[in-house]
Amino acid sequence: MPFQMRPDQILNEVKTFNEKLAQGMTNLMEVGEISSGVTPFEVIYTEDKLKLLHYTGNAEPTNKVPMLIVYALVNRPYMTDIQENRSTIKGLLDAGQDVYLIDWGYPDASDRYLTIDDYLNGYLDNCVDEIRARHQVDAINLLGICQGGAFSLCYSSMHPEKVKNLVTMVTPVDYHTPDNMLSHWVQNVDIDQLVDTIGNIPGEMLNWTFLNLKPYQLMGQKYLGMVDVMGDSQTLKNFMRMEKWIFDSPDQAGETFRQFIKDFFQQNKLLKGEVQIGDYTVDLKNVTMPVLNVFAEQDHLVPPDASRALKGAVGSSDYTELSFKGGHIGIYVSGKAQKTIPPAIGEWLTTRS
């Protein structure tokens, strides 16, 4: 049956849409400043552009082994603390964890030649040592997110004596699964020519790439649907928080980007045990501490099979998987995730600390 709509229905639809848009524009003008994270913290260590944050909860942590969150270099870590009732950070604090997080900052031209070795055996290792000294412990808990999870795996392989327990979230391990669209896209890109030509990789370029993985949903449908939420000022503010985060994309240090794309995405060296970082060859069999691997079942950036590959790769005899029925971002910001993921991580860590 052909699509039919009477003229009066069309006029009414247009009228309703315009009324929503007019009210929404008023709310948009009054939305005010959009915060970048909501949980109180103190900066306890700085190095170049890096800041090490220590979050404070409403009660003393019950787990005496501190946790360090290692976020990806892409986008900003306040995704984990986006608003009061949707904060992985707050959930971990409520679960008794003592939470630290690395804010990598915004690389500029002076960071063009920073390597993965600089990030992991320099910055990350210094942060781990700072926390170890602060708490007088030999090893800490690591929680790595996405690319930060891959970095945490590498670090745990190189420095297993400094990591008591490892949690990976939406972390790619096998970059060559058939459903990894991002990996398929990048296989034939000349990364050397790209980095040699422009140096640091602009955050806008990467953001455009991620959005084009689901262009209709992320660039069309979303903004049409925005009109329906603009009438509620609080819902609109929540929408704008997400928009701020999505487009707050730091540039990527050229040499780090070169190695990460070539070694991890194009050649799948992490799974093969062939990644060379400084003086170390990364062998995931060296990851012998307890491992909790958390992945999202509808993740379009890191397909579940890309994360599940960790089970057969690590050397740990204490390996646990936790799946979430949602997407790459929903695992941090959905109401369902808040009730399940941070408490589960907290319980898993506390029983092993």
- Residues serving a catalytic function are 146
Show Cβ contacts of residue 311 under 8 Å, excluding neighbours closer than 6 positions.
Answer: 293, 319, 321
Q: Which two tokens stand for residue 284?
A: 């995931």
What backbone phi and psi angles, to 5 degrees, belong to 63? -90, 115
Q: Please name the residues in contact with 177: beta carbons below 8 A apart, sequence gap of 6 or more.
A: 183, 303, 305, 306, 309
Give the strand pairing for 67-70 and 50-55: unpaired
The helix/strand/coil state of 350 is: helix
Between CA 262 and CA 187 the distance in angstroms is 9
232/201 Cα distance (integer angstroms)? 38
Reported as half-sphere exposure (CB side, CA atoms, 13 A), residue 282 has a value of: 28
**Strand (E) positions, the chain?**
41-47, 50-55, 67-70, 81-83, 86-87, 99-103, 140-145, 163-169, 275-277, 280-282, 291-296, 319-324
Dist CA 17 CA 270 (whole Å): 50
CA distances from 52 to 4, 9, 48, 66, 83 (A): 59, 57, 11, 13, 20
